[in-house]
Amino acid sequence: MNTVKTTGRQQVGDAVLALVLTALALVVTGAGAAYYAAPGQRLDMLGGAFVAATGLALAVRRRWPAAVLAVATVSTAAYLVLGYPYGLIMVCFLVAVYTAARHLPPARSVPLAVAALVLLLAHIFTNDAALPGALGLIPASAWVIVPLSAGITVRVVRESAARERAETIRRRVDGERLRVAQEVHDIVGHGLAAIKMQADVALHLLARKPEQARVALEAISRTSGTALDELRATLAAVRENDTVRSPAASLSRLDELRQRMSEAGVQVRLERSGTPRPLPEAVDLTGYRVVQESLTNVLRHGGAGQATVSVRYAPDAVILAITNPVAGEPARGGGLGIPGMRDRVLALGGEFSAGPAPGDRFEVHASLPIGGHP
């Protein structure tokens, strides 16, 4: 037996529907038959029992749709075969067919509906009041075909909508995973690159100039602490945990980034133009990450240990340019740095480019639109 999970509210609604339809069917059919039906067709106790069985079965129509359709079919077919008049019992039967089509897969509901149709059509050949031949087949078949078609259509539409909602949720989850992965990549990648450079300096100076090696080790400590704070803040935001606080990555913190890069061995010249102003959070974070990842690439591959960061505040955009001298051919790795920056910028509707620039330099250029946002 096919069982469908239902809520308490649905069960109450089905019970109320069953009681209302049963009462209406008994009253309307009984009153109507008293006026227009022949004496042998008037509703008696047996006929009323068939009507009640069909209507009251609807109380559990969503929980056991197949069983309800079976009860409704047998009761309605017997009612009609015995010559009782048409009435609201047919509406109760229609609801049972619709419910089976709505809540059962077509592979299950269609055979049940065909069997119900066969039983329902039996009265055409036994009930003298029924329309004979094809004239009787057409309206009798409609009581099954119409609700079956409607139920299957509603089921298909609902399932399609559910799949679309699930796909939307999946895309959002995947997007959030990608965002978190990019944040972790930028934070950890930048921190590890700086730590490696400082560690190399410390190892080189440890034997000959231990006091300078100590400076490099202190820089490692500060860099690792900053990276850990940013990583904790990112993971806390994912968990929606406000107990861990860290200053948000922002273009207003580029001086701190420049200082860390200086300790790691890259001298950064910071140029600002236009009027600095508060930016939308997504723009501010993306701008900072573009600068951070660009300087991390300079630290890894630049060679010359110099870079220039230009931040220009235009009326409707923030324009970033990070350039550095290139000694020989630029490194072409398969990392996530440049693709990650491009994805961040394009996601905001901005423009991004990265490649060789005049004067044997490499330039990362990003334009982040801010529109009418404050």
Closest-CA residue to 143 (of 51, 77, 62)? 77
Write out the residue limits of the CATH 3.30.565.10 domain(s) in the chain. Answer: 265-374
For 47-55, what is the mean pLDDT? Answer: 91
Query: 267, 306 in Cβ contact below 8 A?
Result: yes
Question: What are the CA-CA distances from residue 3 to residues 104, 124, 198, 308 (Å)?
Answer: 9, 33, 67, 69
How does strand 306-313 pair with strand 267-274?
parallel
Q: What's the confidence (pLDDT) of residue 344? A: 85
Task: Report the C-alpha gap between 264 and 270 in whole angstroms.
Answer: 16
Q: What's the confidence (pLDDT) of residue 102? A: 93
pLDDT tens digits for range 250-289 = 888 898 888 888 877 788 999 999 888 888 888 988 898 8
- List, in order, residues 6 or more apart from 287 with CB less than 8 Å away: 251, 279, 311, 318, 320, 366, 368
> Ramachandran region of residue 303, left (φ > 0), alpha (ψ -120 to 50) or beta?
left
Helices 254-264 and 133-205 pack at an angle, to 10 degrees, of 50
pLDDT tens digits for range 318-374 = 999 999 988 655 555 455 678 888 888 998 889 999 988 888 889 999 999 986 444
Mean pLDDT, the chain, rounded, equals 80
pLDDT tens digits for range 54-90 = 999 999 999 999 999 999 999 999 988 888 877 888 8
Q: In 3-state terms, what secondary structure has residue 136?
A: helix
Closest-CA residue to 369 (of 296, 298, 310, 319)? 319
Assigned CATH for 265-374: 3.30.565.10
